């Protein structure tokens, strides 16, 4: 299983248009729950507007950066994902929040 995080924008047509989709293994779910400080983790972002999600994701990135040792201990035993890839994933989400502030975020897993 994995997380798919899609950014959808209104282009004036009938449907929202996907401008980006990011993917990360759900083996790092515990890291994301810790970073977001909620039981939802990345799913916390589902249906949020990117401008609203920006500060939430920035705080999660900051928490990971300041507590790297904690996250390294949460690396999955099966080696599918690690704290660095989880951090890079969140930084990519943050960059998209900044680039597409009016986008709607959809999280599926």
- Please give the Cα distance from 40 to 103 (Å, whole number): 21
- The pTM score is 0.95
Tell me what pLDDT residue 2 has: 95
* Torsions phi, psi for 107 (to 5 deg): -115, 125
Inform me whether the pLDDT recorded for 79 exceeds 90.
Answer: no
Distances in Å between the Cα of 70 and the Cα atoms of 16, 17, 53, 67, 105 are: 38, 37, 24, 5, 28
| Mean pLDDT, rounded, for 57-61 | 98
Mean pLDDT estimate for the chain = 96
Contact between residue 47 and residue 106 where contact means Cβ atoms under 8 Å apart: yes
Q: H or E stretch including 5?
A: strand 2-9
- Please give the Cα distance from 76 to 31 (Å, whole number): 10
């Amino acid at each position: 299983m994995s997380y798919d995080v899609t950014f959808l924008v209104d282009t004036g047509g009938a449907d929202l248009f996907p401008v980006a989709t990011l993917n990360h293994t759900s083996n790092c779910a515990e890291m994301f729950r810790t970073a977001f400080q909620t039981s939802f983790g990345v799913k916390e972002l589902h249906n949020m507007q990117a401008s609203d999600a920006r500060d939430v994701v920035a705080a999660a990135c900051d928490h990971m950066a300041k507590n790297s040792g904690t996250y390294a201990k949460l690396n999955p035993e099966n080696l599918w994902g690690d704290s660095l890839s989880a951090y890079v994933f969140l930084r990519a989400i943050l960059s998209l929040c900044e680039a597409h502030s009016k986008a709607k975020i959809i999280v599926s897993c």
